[in-house]
Amino acid sequence: MTDQPPAPATTFVHRAACRVLYGDTDAGGVVYYANYLRYFEHGRTELMRERVMAYRELEEQGIIMPVVECQARYRASARYDDLVVVETTVTAVKPVTCRFDYRVVRDGDGQLLVDGYTVHAAVNRRGRPVRFPEELLVGLRAL
């Protein structure tokens, strides 16, 4: 993306594959734009589950991570039954916020479909900002 520097070569990149469902597409037969945010979520959730902690564990501690900012740049279209790979990196970690960057590519030809990011805040069940648990901060910063 033009408004952010590329991730350093040493940044961990998590890859999660998913198949485009018929219900993900619009009348033109391509993935409806908002569904790429679901693909971002898939990548982020799997990265967290495999490398840091499952969201369920965080929620059991009374913390949720709503999206407070997002951006997506659409480059090419995915279609029904395409296998796409969501490449997810952690690019910023602060005591109460973190940022995940994404690239969604088509498996096989490697075509970049969408890139973007989401920023998340740590809040309690009442919506008040809280600090991330130390275990989470350490895990995210290690990526």
pLDDT tens digits, one per residue of 100-120: 999 999 999 999 999 999 999
What pLDDT is stored for residue 81 in this prediction? 95
Q: What is the pTM of this model?
A: 0.90
What pLDDT is stored for residue 42 in this prediction? 98
Stretch 72-100: mean pLDDT, rounded? 97
- Per the domain annotation, does 7 fall within a domain? no
- Per the domain annotation, does 6 fall within a domain? no
Average pLDDT, the chain: 93
Contacts by residues 134-140 (CB-CB < 8 Å, ≥ 24 positions apart)? 135/53, 136/52, 136/53, 136/58, 137/93, 137/95, 139/51, 139/52, 139/53, 140/52, 140/90, 140/93, 140/98
Stretch 118-133: mean pLDDT, rounded? 96
Task: Please determine, for residue 23, whether its predicted confidence score (pLDDT) is greater than 80.
Answer: yes
* CB contact at 8 A, 116 and 40: yes
Percent of the chain with pLDDT over 70: 93
Percent of the chain with pLDDT over 90: 90
CATH number at residue 79: 3.10.129.10
Stretch 6-13: mean pLDDT, rounded? 64
- Per the domain annotation, does 3 fall within a domain? no
Could you give the residue ranges of the DSSP H alpha helices within 2-97?
35-47, 55-60
What pLDDT is stored for residue 119 in this prediction? 98
Stretch 72-82: mean pLDDT, rounded? 97
Q: What are the catalytic residues? A: 26
Domain span including residue 103: 14-141
Q: How many domains does the chain have?
A: 1
Task: Please determine, for residue 2, whether its predicted confidence score (pLDDT) is greater than 60.
Answer: no
Residue 104 makes CB contacts below 8 A (sequence gap 6+) with 36, 39, 40, 43, 78, 84, 85, 86, 87, 112, 113, 114, 115
